[in-house]
Every structure is written in C-alpha cells, then in structure tokens.
Chain A
Amino acid sequence: NAGVTQTPKFQVLKTGQSMTLQCAQDMNHNSMYWYRQDPGMGLRLIYYSASEGTTDKGEVPNGYNVSRLNKREFSLRLESAAPSQTSVYFCATQGAGGFGDTQYFGPGTRLTVL
C-alpha cells in the first residue's frame, strides 16, 4: 500500500500562475486534509473534507480552492499564486476506530512562488 501520495514533490511558479496539487490515498479513509507549513512554524489547516462530496474551510483558506473528486482523491488549487503562498503543503487522511483520530501524512509538496 502506498498510503498517502502527493504530486508534484517540488514546484516553482511565477506570481499569477495557477496550479493544482494532487493527493491520493489508498487507506479507505473518509477524512482528508490540506495543511501548509512555513519555515519554523507548525502546520496550519487550509481545507478539509470530512467525507466524499463535502469540504470545509480551515484556518487559512484564502487563495485556495479544493475538490474532493472521490473518496481517494483530494486536490488543492491555487488560482493565482502569490509569493506568500511559498510553503510546504501536506495532505493528510484520518481514519476512525482503533487508532482514534490518528492522521496519516503524505511526503509534502514544496512550492516556491517567485
């Protein structure tokens, strides 16, 4: 099992360009999350999806849109990238049951906006 995968691993954009970060999971989890992490900071929640077909804003949603395409996939779109969006982006999934609310993270996408 691959767990949580993210593409691309690295990306450089110019201000104003758009892109979509992809996340896929094979853990059959209902909940999926997008976080960003700036240097020396903790993770901040951008958007999350409690189940297929639903999405909700997190702490820092401005400048982003998301799509929960199906149970496996949750994408994050930057419509017009800004230098303030330079960050590392992590996707996570969350199951239920025996492990409580454990979250499982992907390897991250390192985005630089020039």
Chain B
Amino acid sequence: DAKTTQPPSMDCAEGRAANLPCNHSTISGNEYVYWYRQIHSQGPQYIIHGLKNNETNEMASLIITEDRKSSTLILPHATLRDTAVYYCIVNNAGNNRKLIWGLGTSLAVNP
C-alpha cells in the first residue's frame, strides 16, 4: 500500500476555508484516496474519498491532482467543531482492504 505524507499541524481561523494537503507520490492506479478525522479521542470518522476526480459532499471537498500524486481536503467554512486530527490514507480496494494509518494533521480552528 502506498504511503502518505501530511504536515503534522495546521491552524485555521473560524469561518475560513481549511486546506489540508496530502502527498501520495507512490500511489498506484487502482488505489483510492480516503480522508478520515478523529475528534479528541473519539473513533475516527469517515469524511470523503476519491479515485481521480474531484469529489464533494456535505462535509468537505477533495481535490486530487491530475497525476494523482497529491490531494487537498477542503473544509469550506471551518468551525471550532472541526478541530481534529485529519488522516489521509490510500488503499487498494481490491486487496484485503486494510487501511494503513499515519500520524495525520492536527488541525486547530481558532476563534
């Protein structure tokens, strides 16, 4: 499974967009990009995933570069409740579907 690289921490002002980058330069053609977040010490929560097209849902948008070597998770209007650790994961849905979790990005949304 491909590995990902994320900045360890980021800050964002409340109400502004939070843009969280992820590098996955060794991603293979059949690997998806997944984003999860973990608030305090709760169980991780799924946010969004994509293969090569940009995706949007009620929580966030996912922008994947054309070469698929990096992606950006966008929280369009960050709130204090978005303060969490955000994990970017790549996974091949065709294998045993195990996810490899890195250290993620700790996002602090400030008032």
Q: A-side interface residues toward B, CB under 8 Å? A: 4, 31, 33, 35, 40-45, 48, 50, 56, 58, 88, 90, 92, 94, 99-108, 110
Contacts and interface: CB of A to CB of B under 8 A. Distances in A.
Contacts, number: 59
Please tell me the size bucket of the interface on B: 20 to 34
A48 B98 CA distance: 9
Given A50-B96, A101-B32, A102-B49, A44 B101 contact: yes
B99 A103 contact: yes
A53 to B, nearest CB: 16
Chain B interface mostly: loop
B43 A107 contact: yes
20 contacts: A42-B87, A42-B101, A42-B103, A42-B104, A43-B44, A44-B101, A48-B98, A50-B96, A58-B98, A100-B32, A100-B34, A100-B93, A101-B99, A102-B46, A102-B49, A103-B36, A103-B99, A104-B46, A107-B43, A108-B42
